[in-house]
Chains A and B, each alone.
Chain A
Amino acid sequence: MTQLLDPPRPPAASPEAPSPALRAARRKAVLHWIAVHSLGVAAALFFVLPFVFVVLTSLMSDQQALTRDLIPRTWEWDNYRRVFDTPGFLTWWRNTLLYAGVGTVLTVVSSVPVAYALAKFRFRGRRLSLMLVISMMMLPPQVIIIPMYLFWAKQLDLSGTLWPLIIPMAFGDAFSIFLLRQFLLTIPDEYLDAAKVDGCGEFRTLIRVVLPMAKPGIAAIALFQFFAAWNDYFGPQIYASENPGAWTLSYGLESFKGAHHTDWNLTMAATVLVMAPVIAVFFFAQKAFVEGVTLTGVKG
């Protein structure tokens, strides 16, 4: 089976002519290769063309962006400068980096010990805790938003800022805890026992032995958390909408469209600027990311 799937090689200049059966098999392999790769190219077009059209439109002149043209007549790189000149755009960048950066650090620091306890300690209520973690992970944020909003806005007077979104991250994030716990399960107990024989307490074992081995898992939760904050729309909509000074890119992007309602070129340039960092980070951290996606699923 796998041999049949190998890419076709040009017919070897062998002295003996190949038998008809072999030639038929090779013909079939070539046809199979062509079929699979044509399908692959068609699928790749479906996934890539939206990006291509978005980038092309972002480089059109204002007049051309209103037409049905697909390819820019003049390449207006200046559009990107105009996006940065839009009032607020740089503030949204700063806010997003604050929300995503500080939030990610807090999440990792607070989730690691919890995940470690759930993976390696034996205690009563462990299974219950784990099921509650999974329930929190599956909880749509809208379910508890009314009391949470009243808590942050009326009692702590923090609406119009991103703090109601950042502060909770200091208290563990259910998804990160679950994902990291799955990862820590794969570390054999022998390593921990060896550390304890050497006189390490649980805390030192965690710092000295577990953390270095858990780097891929921690990288995965940090990436997921960073992207979750970067992509969050509902949180900023609830807490920051009244104060444009606290908007993030994901929230501000929509109002950017509102302010430039006919300027598809500028809106698409802004869209590219919101997508680009995520994709750049992906290329640097591809392995950790894909590993993380697999972990969320089914690997124990």
Chain B
Amino acid sequence: MTTHTLRSKRRRSALRTAAFMSPWLIGFSVFFAYPMVSTVYFSFMKYDGFGAPSFNGLTNWTYVFSDYPMFWPSLANTLWLVLVMVTCRVVFGLGIGMLITKIKTGTGLFRTFFYLPYLAPPVAATLAFVFLLNPGTGPVNSILGDLGLPTPGWFNDATWSKPALTMLAVWGIGDLMVIFMAALLDVPKEQYEAAELDGTSPWQRFRFVTLPNISPIVLFAVVTGVIQAMQYYTQPLVAGKVASGVIGGSGQQFEPGYPDKSTLTLPQLVYNLGFQRFDYGSACVVALVLFALAMAFTALLMRGRNNLIQAGD
């Protein structure tokens, strides 16, 4: 084969690759690269959507970090969600996954029941939980009251709003159940049989056989859980709006975070700064903080020892 034909063949194959990749190449440029550069640019600009943006140095950055009253509460909330909500979801997800592998009668029915809440659209599920947990007439407090137990204010009480969101998140645990179930069924049976012959207790078998086998999946669940917690938007915003009763046509008068900033998360700040206060510059600062956090944990997913998302060849 001559070098000439080899080169033309190579060029043909490059063109072919470009043709197949073209939708994404355009999508990447227009909906990722351009807006990312633009977000960095606006973070140093004063811009309210009218007139021309003007350079104002680090003003937006210092405003967000030291003067914007919602920034640190929202980070604290995110940390709470990571520590409590993610932990609860992983523990319950694993528990339900183990339970379903042990259930021998009516397995299909149980699996469907456990999985169904995951499918409930977030706005609908949130509305349902605000109703179930409404302090006055909600079924949960009715039952708690009848049993003589305390009846918290749930979504209307700053100490109970995040636990209420956690319950909502644990309810929709179907995705983790399926992933854990698949992992648990992959654990070699012989290892359990050998461990049993050695006279181990069920806890020891869980600790020394199950856990080591599924630890990459546990790590995957934790890291994706952290990423989801940082992006948590629809449920806390809708819960706050509905529980506070402040819902208007375009909803612009509602200050996110009800009650008392307890449900604020970073993405809600982008909305608050950009679309309620028309301070696009500061909104872009928060957007970049969110971006840095999301990418750090994504890198953890790709680079981790176990190469959790198999990006390699």
Contact = CB atoms under 8 A, between A and B. Distances in A.
Given A131-B311, A171-B30, A275-B121, A294 B127 contact: no
Chain B interface mostly helix, strand, loop or mixed? helix
A36 B103 contact: yes
A202 B287 contact: no
Interface string B277-307: 0001001100110110011011001100000
B120 A294 contact: no
Contact of B24 (A148, A172, A290): A172
A204 to B, nearest CB: 12
Interface in A173-191: 177, 182
A22 interface: no
B298 A274 contact: no
Contact of B247 (A48, A67, A148, A258): A258
B125 to A, nearest CB: 8
Interface stretch (A76-84, A116-124, A192-200): A116-124
13 contacts: A5-B104, A37-B105, A50-B129, A117-B17, A121-B16, A138-B227, A142-B270, A150-B280, A171-B27, A237-B251, A250-B124, A255-B248, A278-B121
B128 to A, nearest CB: 5
Nearest to A106: B23
Interface of B: 13-14, 16-17, 19-21, 23-24, 26-28, 30-32, 34-36, 38-39, 42, 49, 96, 99-100, 102-105, 110, 112-117, 119-125, 127-129, 131-132, 137, 139, 142, 171, 174-175, 178-179, 182-183, 189, 192-193, 196, 216-217, 220, 227, 230-231, 233-234, 237-238, 241-242, 245, 247-252, 266-267, 270-271, 274-275, 280, 283-284, 287-288, 290-291, 294-295, 297-298, 301-302, 308-313
Interface string A52-71: 01100100000000111010
Given A298-B179, A298-B216, A138 B102 contact: no
A203 B237 CA distance: 45
B98 to A, nearest CB: 10
B134 to A, nearest CB: 8
Contacts of B117: 47, 50-51
Nearest to A48: B113
A118 B227 CA distance: 25
A114 B131 contact: no
Nearest to A248: B123
Contacts of A268: 127-128, 131
A146 B193 CA distance: 58
Nearest 7 CB-CB pairs, A to B?
A258-B247, A171-B27, A144-B35, A147-B38, A117-B20, A172-B24, A110-B23
B17 to A, nearest CB: 5
A139 B251 contact: no
Interface residues of A, number: 99
B228 to A, nearest CB: 10
B287 A144 contact: yes
A261 B275 CA distance: 25
